[in-house]
Structure 1
Amino acid sequence: MSDKTLDCSDIDQYLGKPMQPARTRDVVASSDIRRWVQGMHYPNRLHYDDDFAAESRYARIVAPQSFPVATDDGHGAAPCCVGAIPNSHLIFGGDEWWFHGPRVFSGDLIRNERVPFDYVVKETKFAGPTCFQRGDNMYYNQKNEKIATQRSTSIRYLAEAAREMGSLKGTDDPVWTRDQLAELEEKKFDYVKTLHALGHGKRYWDDIKVGDKLPTRIFGPHSIASFATEWRAYAFTIWGTMHRRTDLDLEALGFTKDMAGHENDPVMERQNPELTDGAYFGPSRGHLFPEWARTIGMPRAYGYGASMGAWIIDYFAGWAGEWGRVVHCNSAYRGPAFSGDITIMDATVIDKSVDAEGRSIVQVDCKMSNQLGTVMATAKAEIELPKK
């Protein structure tokens, strides 16, 4: 039996203190936006089709509300991964987003100002003593307009403890027949047709009733190929795209030597950039390589927490349409998307109100689950809709 002591005392010295920001070297391009929605499985023409976007309220392609995290250098995880926890690993535990109004377009230059927030240690069935650590990401454009605030939660734990407590069950991908896959494609397209049906129209607050259901969104089966596509949708995964941090040492944070690597290392990027690619070396390779997934207590290849957050925001924003917007969303991740599984999203309107700012708001409650009914994530959001 391993020593399950989780020493988080080093975190205290960093709380509330700004850390190095994330800064992209290049302005956002339309194809960055297109690559993002393709990687996030979000076929909303507003974000990739020039002709459709030209007829919209924006008169051009606009990034989805989920896009700011694509401009960060680490999925929004940096401020919730400070301080050394010896022999630990990390997965995403949740995101809370506030959207402040400005949208992202081609030509914008985005930066992320980051501050570690807090942490708490809890006993979990997954890995025994587990650190839930939070940090704030504040995204700005070149005009110094605040686009969004992301409060991320990381789950930091001892991988050996996770393995001992039985997290490695279900190491084989489920098998889908061709008929089942064909049926899934039909159901997936049913959701896409709801985006087409709304088009450039308005979904009015007045017409929404408490208890209304959002259309079911299905995607998958997930695979190592689809996870790799997600990974490449994040700008920081491409050589030379970021002003790399000089204060990052993953081994010093407590990551075991075989998982620390040189991800985001500015010196190594100039010497041998292959070693800085987290898809192949370092803490992110557990997503794409089952052997390394099992090393950190996961049964098989698995998706990215920040991508799950994007799926949720896109789901809400797609329903709201181009005349509505998500103003706040709080998501809790209970387990990742594993290779071979599908993701099923459902949501219900649970409240309607006019807030203190005079905005017409509906509140929705969302559940994300796989084909077995296992809940992967839950979320509540406030969505502003136009009023008649």
Structure 2
Amino acid sequence: MADGAPRYPKITEQGLAELRERIGVPITNTVEPWNYEASRDAIRHYAHGIGDDNPLWCDPDYAAQSKFGNIVALPSFLFTTSRIVSGYCGGLSGVHAMWAGADWTWYKHTMRGDAISTEATLKDLIEHKTRFAGRAFQQIYNVKFYNQDGDPLAECDSWVFRTDRDEARERGTKYTESRGRVEPYTEEQLAEFSKLYEQEEIRGSAPRYWEDVQEGDELPTMMKGPMTVTGFICYAQGWGGLYIRANKLAWKMQQKHPGLGIKNRFNVPDCPERVHWDEDFALEVGAPGAYDYGPERCSWLTHHLTNWIGDDGFLHKSKCQIRRHNPDGDAIMINGTVDRKFVENGKHMVEISQVAKTHRDELSASGAAIVELPSRAG
């Protein structure tokens, strides 16, 4: 490679035109999901991958005594049942993709034993100018989820940003200042983090009634982190990743999609997903270091909500927007505020805004949700 020559494929007008031709066309040729079924183990592995120990997802004896009579899948479990909703995107071969947000609507609970099917389409392609990578394209997908009876479980618009890797590495001004700023924590800081974990409340079987909630109420702070590569791998174990394959299966994927094979330090093609555990590669693409997964952070926000609403509540909508990378070493605090109470079609609803910030008070993610709560009126 000559000095100054691009190392990675670039966004081209031809590639964009070919990608736009896919808008609205059902996607039928994609890799299989991590989970086809909501088994006991699959649900537990995903819950533990985000640090969620709610017994409704994880404890069969507890769940048997609940109104459901069985284990329930946490709302964000559906990330494991579609590669598309999780960031597997087509077109623009070899061009970097960063998962950046999701807008979920749930219609009913996913229960242990449900078999999940999906329908997916490319919804839109929108150009943006970014500080991070200059010209970028927001690639939005719509995915619908059904159980074995054909009942709609949920639907989601999720999006990735496609950016030129070389441009991101050279420009990356939005993130440059965070490189190297994660310093060792003091014992006092670690004690504060420990206290937040100790105080984390799972509402569980104690109903949170709509009448007892007031506009302006604050949700308890939820702690996530400090980030470690171990934690990122824990999430990948429950979620399945997009391109994590071994040996012959890795070779087969790279034969089908050559742009996925990015040479490592041994000149061996390896997956682009290693930005989440390979510090040097993360820096090459303009990130501040190995960092967390986007769907992981979205799932933290929904974890914050399900802890608060309890077993009798229902998470109806949640929109999450990723604002920056969470590199190895960062600690995240999630807070929420009740913005509005209302009744719609006889259902008692609460609208909540959420903010996730780093321990340096940097905006990590923002969220907005609508939850249904039980009413004392029945």
TM-score, normalised via structure 2 length: 0.86
Shift of 1:168: 4.3
Asked if 1:184 is matched to 2:193, the reply is yes
Which runs of structure 2 are paired with 1:304-319 in the superposition (5 Å)? 304-319=293-308
Please, which of 104, 114, 117 is the counterpart of residue 108 of structure 1?
114
Asked if 1:91 is matched to 2:80, the reply is no
Q: What do the CA deviations read for 1:81-108 (whole angstroms, capped 9, x no partner)? A: 22226x520111110001011x222222
Please name the residue that 1:286 is paired with.
Answer: 275
Report the CA distance shift for 1:353/1:178 in structure 2 as closer, same or farther (over 3 A): same
Asked if 1:31 is matched to 2:31, the reply is no
CA distance in 1, matches of 2:177, 2:85: 27
Please name the residue that 2:52 is paired with.
Answer: 42
Shift of 1:247: 12
Q: Secondary structure, in 3 states, of the residue corresponding to 2:218?
A: coil
Paired AA for residue 100 in structure 1: Y
CA distance in 2, matches of 1:298, 1:71: 28
Report the CA distance shift for 1:27/1:239 in structure 2 as closer, same or farther (over 3 A): farther
Q: Secondary structure, in 3 states, of the residue corresponding to 2:157?
A: strand
Shift of 1:135: 0.4
Report the CA distance shift for 1:145/1:44 in structure 2 as closer, same or farther (over 3 A): same
Question: Are 1:71 and 1:236, in contact at CA under 8 Å, matched by a contact in 2?
Answer: no
Q: What do the CA deviations read for 1:203-252 (whole angstroms, capped 9, x no partner)? A: 11111111000111012101000000001111467879xxx999995445
Asked if 1:323 is matched to 2:312, the reply is yes
Report the CA distance shift for 1:248/1:90 in structure 2 as closer, same or farther (over 3 A): farther
CA distance in 2, matches of 1:346, 1:314: 12
Question: Are 1:127 and 1:161, in contact at CA under 8 Å, matched by a contact in 2?
Answer: yes
Please name the residue that 2:221 is paired with.
Answer: 216
Q: What do the CA deviations read for 1:109-133 (whole angstroms, capped 9, x no partner)? A: 2122211000111111111001011
CA distance in 2, matches of 1:386, 1:201: 11
Please name the residue that 1:73 is paired with.
Answer: 83
Please name the residue that 1:150 is paired with.
Answer: 156
Please, which of 320, 330, 350 is the counterpart of residue 362 of structure 1?
350
Question: Are 1:12 and 1:83, in contact at CA under 8 Å, matched by a contact in 2?
Answer: no
Asked if 1:234 is matched to 2:234, the reply is no
Question: Are 1:100 and 1:147, in contact at CA under 8 Å, matched by a contact in 2?
Answer: yes
CA distance in 1, matches of 2:11, 2:47: 41
CA distance in 2, matches of 1:249, 1:112: 23
CA distance in 1, matches of 2:256, 2:157: 22
Please name the residue that 1:258 is paired with.
Answer: 263
Unpaired segments ≥5 residues, structure 1 = 260-274
Q: What do the CA deviations read for 1:66-87 (whole angstroms, capped 9, x no partner)? A: 1111222355223xx22226x5
CA distance in 2, matches of 1:323, 1:247: 46
Paired AA for residue 72 in structure 1: S
Question: Are 2:320 and 2:365, in contact at CA under 8 Å, matched by a contact in 1?
Answer: yes
Please name the residue that 1:206 is paired with.
Answer: 211
Identify which range, 171-180 or 280-289, moves more after superposition. 171-180
Q: Secondary structure, in 3 states, of the residue corresponding to 1:66?
A: helix
Please name the residue that 1:171 is paired with.
Answer: 179
Please name the residue that 2:61 is paired with.
Answer: 51
Shift of 1:18: 0.6
Q: Secondary structure, in 3 states, of the residue corresponding to 1:160?
A: helix
Unpaired segments ≥5 residues, structure 2 = none
Q: Secondary structure, in 3 states, of the residue corresponding to 1:142?
A: coil
Shift of 1:189: 1.8
CA distance in 1, matches of 2:281, 2:368: 33
Please name the residue that 1:265 is paired with.
Answer: none
Q: What do the CA deviations read for 1:138-168 (whole angstroms, capped 9, x no partner)? A: 1112112211111101011011111111344
Shift of 1:25: 7.0
Paired AA for residue 233 in structure 1: G
Q: Secondary structure, in 3 states, of the residue corresponding to 1:215?
A: strand
Report the CA distance shift for 1:25/1:313 in structure 2 as closer, same or farther (over 3 A): closer
CA distance in 2, matches of 1:379, 1:151: 14
Question: Root-mean-square deviation (CA), in Å?
Answer: 2.8
How many residue pairs match? The answer is 356
TM-score, normalised via structure 1 length: 0.84
Q: Secondary structure, in 3 states, of the residue corresponding to 1:155?
A: strand
Asked if 1:382 is matched to 2:353, the reply is no
Aligned sequence identity (%)? 25
CA distance in 2, matches of 1:257, 1:285: 10
Which runs of structure 2 are paired with 1:122-137 in the superposition (5 Å)? 122-137=128-143
Q: Secondary structure, in 3 states, of the residue corresponding to 1:14?
A: coil
